[in-house]
Amino acid sequence: MTELSPSVAALRSEFGPAVERHFVSSGQTAVYISRDRSHDVLGWLKDSSGQEFNFLTDITAVDYRDPERPLEVVYQLRSLGRKADLRVKIALDKQTPLELRSVYDLWRGADWLEREVYDMFGVTFLGHPDLRRILMWETYAEGYPLRKDFPLRGHFSRAEQTRQALAANPEAHYSLEELSIAEAYGELPKEMQERLARGERGFLK
């Protein structure tokens, strides 16, 4: 189970220099690709025959202790038909804006996964339809908790954290779709209809 996934060779012949180094760890193949062509490569992996990675298992990111090392966004792909896995990594240099093309148009499941990476690491996914925080509340102002430069207990004092948490308005933090009240919209109180129509979320800066 330590052999290299044949997808790597196919990627190299198709994309050439856009495919960077690769390695096999515990029987799993990981391949680095360049951030500029990430969307092309991932789309090709999903759609071309012989690859058919039609299931996006996970998107996550890794921030290494070494501040010089780039932040890596990790896509874990699975081909349900071929029963094959592939890990695709994209290194984002921290000197540049942490931006990446969204793969929401390829896999709908990327929606919340990308929101989570945005929430925890601050990677902006360009083209994502609804890029908001998902685990922390939307008005959370301390930064991105899973970055290595984020202190374990947060930047603010506990009193300030408590004050901000209590000032959050839990009901205002969900879109119409999330609350599944899109159908019931007509029956909502007028004041609530107006708030939802304005897209109002919280009131804390």
Partner 1 sequence: MGLINPATENRTDETTTVSAVSPNFVTTKLDFLTNWARSNSLWPMPFGTACCAIEFMATAASRFDLARFGMERMSFSPRQADVLICAGRLPFKLAPVIRRIWDQMPQPKWSISMGACASTGGIFDNYSMVQGIDTIIPVDVYVPGCPPRPEGLLYGILLLQKKIKGETIADDALREEKLVGPSGLFLPPERVDELSEPFGNSVQQTRSS
List residues near partner 1 by CB under 8 A.
135-137, 142, 145, 150-154, 157-170
| Minimum distance of partner 1 from residue 140's CB (angstroms) | 9
Angle made by CA atoms 36, 73, 124, in degrees to the nearest 5:
70
Residue 1 or 166 with smaller CB distance to partner 1:
166
Smallest gap from residue 168 Cβ to partner 1 (A): 5
The least CB distance from residue 185 to partner 1, in Å, is: 24
Minimum gap (Å) between residue 137 Cβ and partner 1: 5
CA distance to 7, 9, 87, 120, 172, per residue, from 57 (Å) = 17, 22, 10, 18, 30
Question: Which amino acid is located at 158 in the chain?
Answer: R
Q: What is the largest CA-CA distance in the chain?
A: 62
- Residue 16 neighbours by CB under 8 Å, 6+ apart: none
Residue 28 or 161 with smaller CB distance to partner 1: 161
37-57 burial string, b = 16+ CB within 10 Å, else e?
Answer: bbbebbebbbeeeebbbbebe
Closest distance of CB 154 from partner 1, Å: 4
Q: Given the complex with partner 1, which of 1 and 159 has the nearer CB atom?
A: 159
Shortest spacing between CB 201 and partner 1, in angstroms = 14
Q: How far apart are CA 172 and CA 201, in angstroms?
A: 5
Q: Which is nearer to partner 1, 47 or 178 (CB)?
A: 178
Cβ proximity to partner 1, 127 vs 143, nearer residue: 143
The residue (of 34 and 164) whose beta carbon lies closer to partner 1 is 164
